[in-house]
Amino acid sequence: MWQKLRRILSRVEKPARYIGNELNIVVKPSSEVDLRFALAFPDLYDIGTSYMGFQILYDILNNIPGVQAERVFAPWPDMEAEMRKAELPLYGLESKTPLTEFDIIGFTLQFELGYTNLLNMLDLAGISPRARDRNVGPLIVAGGPGASNPEPMADFVDVFVIGEGEEVVAEIVHQVREAKRAGLSKAELLQCLMRVDGIYVPCMYTPQYDEVGYIGTQPTNDAPARVRKRIIKDFANFPLPKQLVMPLIQPVHDRVSVEICRGCARGCRFCQAGMLYRPVRERPQAKILEQSAQLLQCTGSPEISLSSLSSADYSDIEILVREMMDKNKVGVSLPSLRVDSYSVQMARLTGRKRKSGLTLAPEAGSQRLRDVINKNVRDEDIFSAARTAFENGWQTIKLYFMLGLPTETEDDIRGISLLVHGLEGLYREIHGHTKRLKINLGVSTFVPKPHTPFQWAPQLERESVEKRQRLLKELLRSRKFHVNTTNWSESSLEAALAKGDRRLGAAIYLAWKKGCRFDAWSEHLRSDLWKQAFVEAGIDPGTYTSRHLPLDQPLPWDHIDVGVNKEFLIRELHRAYNGKTTPDCTLTNCSACGICSAYALTPWKRGNN
């Protein structure tokens, strides 16, 4: 095995991606292993090693006696070609065991454009991508945000995990072990798994269609009508992993990521993560400080990232940052900050190098549109943040916007330009010139996502999107401004895969067969092949994405329950169209989204730490 591998490795880019042998990996002798679990990330090693979800599951699984968890990532096309030529099957990094010899392979569906990579990894392992062709071999499991609409991938995955995986992953291990012991068939194993909370077994459900489209999903036998997501209720006391695997090749940032809070109740209407990860649960400061000290020790990382969906909202975040810097003597970074001068103060506190620039995410160019999407950021906030930044030496600002939001008009696009020029004017007012000022804009195209108030909304069609992109670039033509937009082919594909039903599986299979891989990488996305695939599968992706769906129409993901009820989403959609905002329930009143009653929780308010 090694011989074959060695020959290949000298011919590929960054061979370290494929050798394992990193710091803090766990390799148990085979005599001590009765169950092998592969944690499979459907993208390149360089991207996947920073995925915290797998670090958490790796730690949990390897702490179960007899279980060996190993990591596997998608080989880059050069390595794939070599592997196929040498007939070297895809293997787990820890022991180099071929994936076919694993009991369970768990994928994470982080983004829709990674779907073809999942099929490709199965094929590279010598495993049939289609579930119905598999009667023996490892159980194929998938989780992550993509599992909240599992239907497009239902042809390829045996079992989906809906929600948070920390507890259910051990339950799956238990079921598989029992099934092995009792000599159960795959069908019998799936029956057992179906009864586990939070597990969706697609072959137990039959989607139905009429001439127009999807009309519902029929569970067979005693499959539950809806599958509800799992959550870690006692997140506050759930320990951080004791170790983190440190890659040998430099990841984008050399830092340890610590989850200080899970969930976000700000309720931005486009945001799927905000709905999927409710309820909001904070980790206590004392635990964060204590457990992260150990992580820093075993990784030797110079920096810690206090991560969550909205870190600056964490109760007494300033105290946590100060304590972290004093006690653990590390650099602290705070991703995802609020847009106001508070975030600049936080940035000063953490000593961010001013070279790296300040990032703010207004998302929309006008107050009107911001109210529609419930991004509660006012122009005054943006300007006061910018003023504080400029006065303290920041020269570069990065702004995130979305284009194609519901009710958007060209006036809103002009609003972006007004905002940017306003910032330029502010800088000039403070410094007398704008020689060193740089404003970078990341403008992505809106993709409506399941389980959000905007799930019924259409994606803006190509002509309008491209027209608005051109308009924005025209209005911001200057060496000081840099506008980055996303390609239509990428955004439209993402939308179709996000809102599709099970019929999409045929297109995904054909696209993969035709050679589609690494669709999230612009140099590899083959929209021509995807187009062919859709045509051959008899699917018009526009039917999923180009119309506003009727509010009473069944949705392909209705049988997946993320704890937030549909009435709430509809209410929020109406409020959006009326330009009414909804406040963060952890700061004021409950918005009756349903999550607390679904899990019998007392509504939690900030500051109650």
Partner 1 sequence: MGYISHLDFQRLWQRLFRIAGIEVEKTQGYNPHPKLRFALPLPTCFESENELMEAFLVEDMPSQQLVAALNSIAPGGLEVLGATLVPQSYPKLTGLVDALAYRVELPEKATVGLSKSGDVETKGGRRSIEEYLLNAEVQDRIMFFKLKVDNQKTIRPDDLVKHFMPQLDMGGVRFIRTAIYTEKRGLDLLPQGLSILD
Which parts of this chain interact with partner 1 (CB under 8 A)?
A: 6-11, 14-16, 19, 21-23, 25, 246, 248-250, 254, 297-302
Please state whether beta strands 199-200 and 159-161 pair in parallel, antiparallel, or not at all (unpaired): antiparallel
CB of 247 to partner 1, least distance (A): 9
DSSP 448: -
Q: How far is CA 50 from CA 31, 41, 138, 197, in A?
A: 30, 11, 26, 28
Please state whether beta strands 281-282 and 261-262 pair in parallel, antiparallel, or not at all (unpaired): antiparallel
| Alpha-carbon span 71 to 65, nearest angstrom | 18
Which amino acid does the sequence have at 124?
L
CB of 15 to partner 1, least distance (A): 4
| Distance, C-alpha 170 to centroid of its chain | 22
Structural tokens at position 157: 């995955």
- In a 3-state reduction of DSSP, which class is residue 306? strand
Q: Which is nearer to partner 1, 82 or 519 (CB)?
A: 82
Query: 79: buried, middle or exposed (CB in 10 Å: 19+, 13-18, 0-12)?
Result: buried
Q: How far is CA 519 from CA 132, 155, 402, in A?
A: 25, 19, 21
CB of 73 to partner 1, least distance (A): 15
CB of 296 to partner 1, least distance (A): 9
CB of 46 to partner 1, least distance (A): 11
Which amino acid does the sequence have at 595?
I
Q: Which is nearer to partner 1, 116 or 301 (CB)?
A: 301
Q: Which is nearer to partner 1, 247 or 594 (CB)?
A: 247
Are the C-beta atoms of 465 and 403 separated by less than 8 Å? yes
| Alpha-carbon span 200 to 143, nearest angstrom | 10
Are the C-beta atoms of 451 and 390 separated by less than 8 Å? no
CB of 16 to partner 1, least distance (A): 4
Structural tokens at position 317: 């975040």
CB of 33 to partner 1, least distance (A): 18
Q: Which is nearer to partner 1, 72 or 560 (CB)?
A: 72
| Alpha-carbon span 414 to 378, nearest angstrom | 17
Locate all alpha helices (DSSP H) within 63-212, ordered by sequence: 77-86, 115-124, 168-182, 186-194
CB of 51 to partner 1, least distance (A): 20
Q: Residue 29's CB: how many other CB atoms inside 10 A?
A: 8
| Alpha-carbon span 457 to 452, nearest angstrom | 10
Which amino acid does the sequence have at 472?
L
Q: Which is nearer to partner 1, 243 or 486 (CB)?
A: 243
CB of 243 to partner 1, least distance (A): 11
Contacts of 501 (CB under 8 A, 6+ apart): 151, 152, 207, 209, 213, 214, 544, 556
* DSSP-assigned letters across all residues of 381-435: HHHHHHHHHHHTT--EEEEEEEES-TT--HHHHHHHHHHHHHHHHHHHHHHS--T
CB of 250 to partner 1, least distance (A): 6
Q: How far is CA 205 from CA 162, 216, 503, 544, 560, in A?
A: 16, 10, 14, 21, 12
CB of 395 to partner 1, least distance (A): 16
Q: Which is nearer to partner 1, 8 or 402 (CB)?
A: 8
Structural tokens at position 407: 């009710």
Q: Which is nearer to partner 1, 7 or 605 (CB)?
A: 7
Q: Which is nearer to partner 1, 135 or 250 (CB)?
A: 250
Locate all alpha helices (DSSP H) within 462-503, ordered by sequence: 462-475, 488-499
CB of 95 to partner 1, least distance (A): 12
Closest residue by Cα to residue 276 from 142, 164, 422:
164
Q: Which is nearer to partner 1, 27 or 570 (CB)?
A: 27
Are the C-beta atoms of 420 and 480 separated by less than 8 Å? no
CB of 9 to partner 1, least distance (A): 6
Please state whether beta strands 303-307 and 331-333 pair in parallel, antiparallel, or not at all (unpaired): parallel
CB of 297 to partner 1, least distance (A): 7
- The length of the chain in residues reads 609
Unique residue bearing structure tokens 């075993």: 298
Unique residue bearing structure tokens 């196929």: 84
Q: Which is nearer to partner 1, 8 or 476 (CB)?
A: 8
Query: 562: buried, middle or exposed (CB in 10 Å: 19+, 13-18, 0-12)?
Result: buried
CB of 248 to partner 1, least distance (A): 5
Q: Which is nearer to partner 1, 87 or 222 (CB)?
A: 87
Q: Which is nearer to partner 1, 75 or 143 (CB)?
A: 75
Q: Which is nearer to partner 1, 6 or 195 (CB)?
A: 6
Q: Which is nearer to partner 1, 81 or 273 (CB)?
A: 81
Q: Which is nearer to partner 1, 240 or 441 (CB)?
A: 240
